[in-house]
Amino acid sequence: MIAPDRPAGEDFFEVFEEEINRSGLPVGLEIVYPYIPPRVMPDGGMNPSPEVAQGLAAAIRDGYVNGFREMVIACNTLQLWVPEAVGLLPEEMADVQIYTSIEAVRAEYIDPQVRPLWLGTTPIVRAVSDDFPTLLTLERQDLQDLSQEIIWRVKAVTGADFQNAPEEVRIDAKAENILREKVEKLVTQLGSLPVKQFIMGCTELSLALARYIDEEDRPDLEKIELIDPTVILARKVI
């Protein structure tokens, strides 16, 4: 398992372990935390630096050298760089199998007419908008911007890298009271949408909803169904 951010990676790993234990199968799992540059730019675009794909390719090569032939990318946004990273690998590594939540969820919801709405960073939301409903396809740029801000703020309060957040977010990014207000606003707004099923396509969003929802806001959360793509991916891999 390759994770660029430790807090989200630990959560990803925990979900996988739970599914492995539930299956009763003798599946081994290890996680590494290589340095990979931030994936999202301040304007919500993908980081154009080749260092992202290069860093991912280096992590895959290291895993391969250490005997691993099946790998999971524990960051939904980083999965967008998998094709480019694979293209950087030598031919003798052609047998490596890389699993992504994007493909797992797409296989789980074959009928595009009944697919849940995908929540996540702006780059991944843009990337999946042809296959899944998103806040952008609903023309809710305001909620997409709010989601991306929450992701940056969760990175900040959990000690992950948030250097690419816009300056106006970085100023008070570690203020948990502000994060709580943002999360409460997002949950209320999601409950008012015509869609009621949501893919939590970014681990930071799952962490935000788990840790920053007060009891009085629980009724709003209960109006919607949150689907963890990590669970779907783990079951596909196992």
Query: Which domains are present in the chain?
Result: 6-102 (no CATH), 111-228 (3.40.50)
Of 52-56, 121-125, 168-172, 205-209, the one with minimum mean pLDDT is: 205-209
* Alpha helix positions (H), 24-100: 51-65, 82-87
DSSP symbol at 78: G
Cβ neighbours around 110 below 10 Å, total: 8
DSSP symbol at 116: P
How distant is the alpha carbon of residue 140 from its chain centre?
20
Say which residue, 19 or 168, is predicted with more confidence: 168
Is the model's pLDDT at 8 over the cut of 90?
no
Of 65-74, 109-118, 191-200, the one with minimum mean pLDDT is: 109-118
Of 59-73, 104-118, 162-176, the one with minimum mean pLDDT is: 104-118
Edge-to-edge strand ranges of the sheet holding 117-119: 117-119, 197-200, 225-227
Q: Residue 218's pLDDT is what?
A: 64
| pTM score, whole prediction | 0.91
* Pair 154, 179: CB distance under 8 Å: yes
* Pair 198, 116: CB distance under 8 Å: yes
Across the range 145-158, mean pLDDT stands at 95
Q: Residue 216's pLDDT is what?
A: 66
* Alpha helix positions (H), 171-217: 176-191, 203-211
Tokens of 201: 């396509």
Q: How confident is the model at residue 217 (pLDDT cuts 50, 70, 90)?
A: low
Share of the chain above pLDDT 90, in %: 68
Q: Using CA atoms, how far apart are residues 33 and 6, in angstroms rounded to an integer?
A: 7
Which residue is listed with tokens 């995908």?
Answer: 118
Residue environment code for 85-107, b if the CB has 16+ CB neighbours within 10 A, otherwise e: bbeebeeebeebebbbbbebbbe
Across the range 182-210, mean pLDDT stands at 90
Across the range 121-146, mean pLDDT stands at 95
DSSP symbol at 129: T
Q: Residue 150's pLDDT is what?
A: 96
Q: Residue 20's pLDDT is what?
A: 82
DSSP symbol at 76: T
Q: Residue 21's pLDDT is what?
A: 84
Is the model's pLDDT at 26 over the cut of 80?
no
